[in-house]
A and B are shown apart, each in its own frame.
Chain A
Amino acid sequence: MSTGQEQLQDYMRLPAEVLYREELEALIKEDTGKIPAGWQMSPRSVLTFIAGGKAGKKVITPKYIGNTRLIEMAVATLVTDRALLLIGEPGTAKSWLSENLAAAIYGNSGLVVQGTAGTSEEQVRYSWNYAMLLANGPTPEALVRSPIMRAMEDGGIARFEEISRCASEVQDALISILSEKTISVPELGKETSARKGFSIIATANTRDRGVNEMSAALKRRFNIIVLPAPSDIETELSIVKKRVAEIAASYELQAAVPADDALLKVVTIFRELRSGMTLDKKEKVKTPAGVISTAEAISLLTNSMALAASFGSGELTDNDLAAGLQGAIVKDDDKDKLVWKEYLDNVMKKKGTEWRSLYQACKEMNE
C-alpha cells in the first residue's frame, strides 16, 4: 500500500477517478437510486460527487462550485444518452467538469481525444498498426481503435477536448457516430455498435469562435451547456482558494498557502479587469486583450507560491504577487501594459492603505 501511495505521488497530476477514489467508492457503496445501464452510480450520486454533499458518513468535497443547476442539466443530458457539449470562456472549468463527470459515471476519465488543428479523422474513428497491416492484411489485431471507439465498445464515456479547434472534416466524422452510434470498419467488414452508457462529453472555447465554427448538424447532436464565469466574488474566491490548496498539496510547494487577503486582492483585480468596471460599478476599466479567467488566477497564485518557495522566504510577498500579475495580465502586448498601468494608477492606487505595497510592487514591475 505504501509503495502504491509513493508511486501515485510521483505523477504531476492524477486523474479524477484516482484522486477521489475514496469518495467514489463511498458513493457507490451508499447508492440507493436507480442506476442507468452502463453507469457505475445513480444520477443523484453523480450530482453529489460534483456538487458536494455526503455519502453515508463520508464528506464529498464539491468539485464544481457555482451553479448546481448546470450540473443537473449536464447529468440529465447524459442520462438521456445524448452527447454533452460544454462551452464557455477559457478557464471556466469545462475540462475539469468533463473529467469529473466521466470519472463519476464511468470510472475512467482517460478516454480523451485532445483536439488540435492537426487532429485527423483516424484519431476520432480508428487507424491501423501499419506493420501488422502490411504483414497480415486487415485483421482485428492490426486495428488501432480511437478512444471514442473504445468507449463505444465498453459503454463508457469518451471526452473530446477543444472540439472547435479541429478542422471541420474531423468534426464531421462525429456526426454519424453520434446519430448512428456505430463505427463501421469496412476493411474488416464489421461494425462496432455502441453499448448502452456510451456518450461523449466535448468542450469548446467561446474565444475560438470563428476558428472552426461548428456545423449546425453537429451542434444539433449535442446538448449545449454554457459554463459562465463565476457569478459573484464569493464563489470565485472559494473556487480559487480550494484549487490553490489542492495544487499546492499535489506539487508539494514549499510555500505557505496565500493568505485570504492576497486571494481577495487577486480575485478582485481579475474580476474588475474582466468585467470592465470596478466592483462598486462606479468606474470604467479597460480590459486587456488576453484571457483573465479563474483558472489564470489559480495558476498565477501557484506560480507566485513557487517563486516564493524557490527564490524567496517561503512567504508569499507582494513582489511575488506583482510578478505573477504582470505575467498573467500583460501578454506580449504593449496595449496590455498600458491597460495595466491605467488600472494601477486609476483604480488600485485609490484603494487604500492595504493595497499600497502591492501597488508599489506592481508599479515597479510594470516600469
Chain B
Amino acid sequence: MTAAAEAGVRIFGVRHLSPGGARHLLDFLDEHKPTAVLIEGPSDATDEIRHLTEGATRPPVAILAFTDQVPVRTVLWPFAIYSPEYQAMKWARKHKAEAAFIDLPSSVTLGLQGAMNRSRAAGPEAVPSVDQAGEPEATEVQDEDSVYSRIAQLAGEYDYDMYWERNYEHNDSSGAYQAAIHAFSAHMRELGEEKELREQPSEYAYNALREAYMRRQIQQTVAAGHKPDKIAVICGAYHASALAAALPPMSDEELAALPSRSTKLTLMPYSYYKLSTMSGYGAGNAAPHYFEMMWDAMAAGKPEELPHRYLSAVAGHVRSGGTYRSTAEVIEAVRLAESLAALHGGSRPALRDLRDAAQTLLGHGDLGAIAEPLARVDVGTAIGYLPEGVSQTPIQDDLNRLLKQYKLEKYKSAVASDLQLDLRENRRVSSEQAAFLDLNRSVLFHRLSLLGISFARNRPSGQDSATWAEHWVIQWSPEVEIQVVESTLLGETVEVAAAYVLREKLQECRSIAEASMLIRIACQCAMTAQMEEGTRVLQNLAALSRDVAGMAAAARELSTILSFGDIRKVDTAPLLPLLEELFNRGCLFLLDASGCNDEAAGAMLTAMNELNGISLEHGDKLNDGQWLQELHKLAERDDRNPRLSGYACAILLERGSVSAGELAAEVSRRLSPGIPADLGAGWFEGLSMRGHYGLLSRMSLWEQLNDYINALDDDQFKRALVFLRRAFSTFSPREKTMISELLGELWGVNSEQAAEVLTGELKEEEAKMLDELNDFDFGDF
C-alpha cells in the first residue's frame, strides 16, 4: 500500500473541457476545503498557475512547452473558462490553497514523445497528443469508435457527444456525477486496457509512467505536511482508478532514467476555433462557445435557461445578417428543443436538439440559412488574452509591443480582416511616427513573413510592381503564437530574429536570382545591413556567372528597388554600381548566350526584354549605347539563334536605330530563296514578336515576304509554315485581318472577295490538303 492510496487523498476524475465537471468540482472543493489542489498538467508549469489565474487573464489560454534546440518540438495544454482544471486553479487562488501540476514535466513528455516516435518509426498511428483527453484519448477514439458509438446507440442517441451531454453534463447531482463518471471510466479502462497493452504497448507504457509519476507527486505533497484528506487530485477520469489503486509511485532512479529534452515554457492566448478543431479532445471540443454559455448558465444557477440564451443568440446573428426572425419563433424553437429532449427522456435539450430546433424555426427548414450564425454561436470567435508582463518569451513581448505601437491590436482577432497600406508619407499628421505608420506596419509584416509567421498575408495588388500600395490579410490564430514562440530561438526581438534568418539565407544562397530576391526582402524589411551583405553576395555570384537570363532577372529586381526604393526610406544608392555591373555583363554575354537552341531562346527573349526595359529606365546611368551596339551585332549575325536575331532587330526597329532601308536590306537578305526555311522564317518569327503595327505599316516588308514564300518549293514551304504559323499566332484577330488585307492588295484581290474566301467553308480538296499537313514529320525539329 502506498502512502497516497492508504491515506485516501480525494481524487476527482473529470473529463477535460466539461462545464458540468467544472461545476461539480467546485461543489466538491467547497465541501472538502482541501489545502492542496493537485492538477493533471506538466509539473514544471506549476509557477504558471499564478499567471493563469490572474484577474486580467482571459481564457482560452494555453501553456506551451517547446524544446530550446532544433528541431523544435512543442506541446500544448489549453484551458477554457469551463475547464475543470482551470476552475480548480481559480478556486485554489481564492481560498489560498496550494495548487500544483503533478503530471510528467514537459521535458520528459517531449523526451518520451521523441523516443516513442523513433521506436514506432514508420507506424501509421499519429503521435499521441500528450493525453489531454483523459478518456477517451485521441488515438483511442478512432480505435474504439465502435464501442463509443455503440454506447450512444444503446442509449438511443445519435452520437457519443449527445449521449455524454445528456447523461453527464446535464447531471445536476454532484455525488451522482462523480460516481457515474468514475464507474464509467473504470469500466471503459477495463475494456480497453488489455487491447491497448496488446496493440499500442508504447501508449500503455506512457500512461503507466504518467500515473506512477502522479502518485509520486501526491506522495511528496503528503510528505510536505498536507493532511491526506485535505488533498484534492483533479485528473482525467481515465486515470482516477490508477491513482487511487495501491500501486508504487515512481522512484528517483526511475525518474532520472526517463528520456528528457531541455524545454522552456510560455503562456499563449488560445482560440475557440482551434479548440473546436482538436479531435478526440473530450467534451466541449466541437462547440466551445456553446459550452461557455452552458458554464455561464450553470454559474448563474440557471442551467435551464441555456436553450433560451442559445436560440436567442442564434436569432440575433440571423437578424444581424439581414433576415428577420421574430421572438415568437425563438419561443417556439425553445419549445421544440425541449420536446425533442423529452422524446429522448432527457431533462434539458442537448446541443443537437437546439441546432435542429434552430434549423426548423429560425432557418425555416434550411440549414444553409443559419449555418453561419450556428458556427458563430457554437464555436465562437473568442481568443484569449494575457496581461502585459505575464510570463512570455521576449519575442512575444516584442511583437505585442510593436502591435500596440503600430495600432494593430484590434487586428489580433480570429476573424480575418483586410488592411490596405499606403506607404507614402502622410503629410496631414504632425509626428513622424504617425506619418510613416503604414510604412512601419509594412516593414513589420514583411519581417513576420520572413520569419514564417503567418499573421499577415500579402495579397498581390493589381499594380504589378506596385510601389506605394500594399494589401494585407491579417488573421491571428494559435498557430501564429506558436510560430512566434518558435522564433524565439532565432532572436530576442522580431528585428533581430528576422536579421538572423536573412543572414542564414544569404549564406546559403547559391544563385543570382535568389540573391536578388533576398536583397528585395531585405529592402522590404528595412534592413540596410543585410542589403549590403546581399549586394556583396550577389556581386560575388555575378562575377562568376555567364547566365544572361539570371543576370537580367536580378537586374530587374535591383532596378525596381532603385526606382521605387525611396518610398521605403531605404538608401538604395549602393545598389547602382551592382546594377551597372549586372547590366554590363548581360550586354557582354548576350551574343555568346544567343547561340542556343529554341528551347533556351524563350528565357533569352525574356532577358532581352528585361535588359532593354532597364536600359530605357536608367538610360542616364547605364551605358545604353553599348546595349544597342550589342543588339546590332546580334541582329546581323547568321550563326545565332534566328529568333533571337530577329527579336534584336525588332527591338532596334522599335528604338529607331534601324532605318527603313536597312530593314529592307536585312529582310531581303534573310528571306532570300537560298536560305533554309527554319532560318528565314524563324528570323521573321523573332522580328514579329514586337511592334506589330510597326511591321504592318511597312508595305515593302510584306512584298518581300510574299516574294519569299512564292520562291519556296513545296517541301520548303511546309517547313516555313510551321514558323510562320507560330509567328502569326501572336497577332490579334484584328491585326490578322489587316495582314490579309495587305496581302489582298498585293495580289490585286478585291478585299470583299478575299473575305469571302477566308470566311467560307473549306472545299473538299482544301480539307484534304490540310489533312496531309497533319502528317507532317516534325522529326527534324
A interface residues, Cβ below 8 angstroms from B:
43-44, 47, 69, 72-73, 75-77, 79-80, 82, 85, 87, 216, 219-220, 223-226
Contact = CB atoms under 8 A, between A and B. Distances in A.
Interface string B664-698: 00000000000000000000000000000000000
Given A79-B342, A80-B335, A69 B356 contact: yes
Contacts of B357: 73
Contacts of B332: 80, 82, 223
Nearest to B366: A226
Given A80-B336, A223-B332, A75 B343 contact: yes
Given A69-B356, A224-B365, A225-B365, A77 B343 contact: no
Contacts of B356: 69, 73
Given A47-B343, A75-B343, A220-B326, A226 B365 contact: yes
B361 A223 contact: yes
B360 A223 contact: yes
A85 B332 CA distance: 14
A44 B336 contact: no
B340 interface: yes
A44 B365 contact: no
B510 interface: no
A223 B356 CA distance: 11
Nearest to A46: B343
Interface in B349-380: 356-357, 360-361, 364-366
Contacts of B365: 85, 87, 224-226
B329 interface: yes
Interface string B449-475: 000000000000000000000000000
B158 A69 contact: yes
B329 A225 contact: no
Nearest to A36: B339
A50 to B, nearest CB: 12
27 contacts: A43-B342, A47-B343, A69-B158, A69-B356, A72-B340, A73-B336, A73-B340, A73-B356, A76-B339, A76-B343, A77-B336, A77-B339, A77-B360, A79-B343, A80-B335, A80-B336, A82-B335, A216-B324, A219-B364, A220-B328, A223-B360, A223-B361, A224-B360, A224-B365, A225-B360, A226-B365, A226-B366
Q: How large is the interface on B (under 10, 10 to 19, 20 to 34, 35 or more residues)?
A: 10 to 19
A220 B325 CA distance: 9
B293 to A, nearest CB: 22
B360 A44 contact: no
Contacts of A87: 365
B591 to A, nearest CB: 54
A223 B336 contact: yes
Most buried by B among A72, A73, A82, A219: A73
Given A69-B356, A82-B332, A224 B364 contact: yes
A73 B354 CA distance: 11
Interface in B273-327: 324, 326
Contacts of A43: 339, 342-343
A72 B335 contact: no
B154 to A, nearest CB: 14
Contacts of A77: 336, 339, 360
A79 B336 CA distance: 8
Contacts of A223: 332, 336, 360-361
Nearest to B335: A80
Nearest to A34: B342
A315 B360 CA distance: 46
A214 to B, nearest CB: 10
A213 to B, nearest CB: 13
A66 to B, nearest CB: 14
A76 B336 contact: yes
A220 B329 contact: yes
A127 B299 CA distance: 58
Contacts of B364: 219, 224
A72 to B, nearest CB: 6
A224 B356 CA distance: 11
B714 to A, nearest CB: 43
B329 to A, nearest CB: 6
Contacts of A69: 158, 356
A245 B36 CA distance: 70
A206 to B, nearest CB: 10
Nearest to B341: A76
A115 to B, nearest CB: 19
A79 B337 CA distance: 11
A198 B305 CA distance: 29
B224 to A, nearest CB: 54
Given A75-B343, A76-B339, A220-B328, 17 more contacts: A43-B339, A44-B343, A72-B340, A73-B357, A73-B360, A76-B336, A77-B336, A79-B339, A79-B342, A80-B336, A80-B339, A219-B364, A220-B326, A220-B329, A223-B360, A224-B361, A226-B366
Contacts of B335: 80, 82
A40 to B, nearest CB: 17
B353 to A, nearest CB: 9
B340 A82 contact: no
Most buried by A among B324, B326, B339, B342: B339
Nearest to B361: A223
B389 to A, nearest CB: 51
Sorted from nearest, which 3 A-B pairs have the closest CB atoms? A224-B365, A76-B339, A226-B365
Interface string B575-618: 00000000000000000000000000000000000000000000
Nearest to B360: A223
Contacts of B336: 73, 76-77, 80, 82, 223
A76 B365 CA distance: 15
Contacts of B361: 223-224
B343 A72 contact: yes
Nearest to B344: A72
B682 to A, nearest CB: 43
B630 to A, nearest CB: 56
Interface in B84-139: none
Nearest to A216: B324
A76 B342 CA distance: 9
Contacts of A85: 365
Most buried by B among A76, A80, A87, A224: A76
Contact of A76 (B324, B326, B340): B340
A307 B5 CA distance: 81
A72 B360 CA distance: 12
B358 to A, nearest CB: 11
Contacts of B366: 226
Nearest to A222: B364
A241 B340 CA distance: 31
A341 B329 CA distance: 49
A43 B158 CA distance: 18
A72 B365 CA distance: 14
Most buried by A among B332, B356, B360: B360
A239 B329 CA distance: 34
A272 B671 CA distance: 61
Nearest to A43: B343
Contacts of B360: 73, 77, 223-225
Interface string B150-176: 000000001000000000000000000
Contacts of A226: 365-366
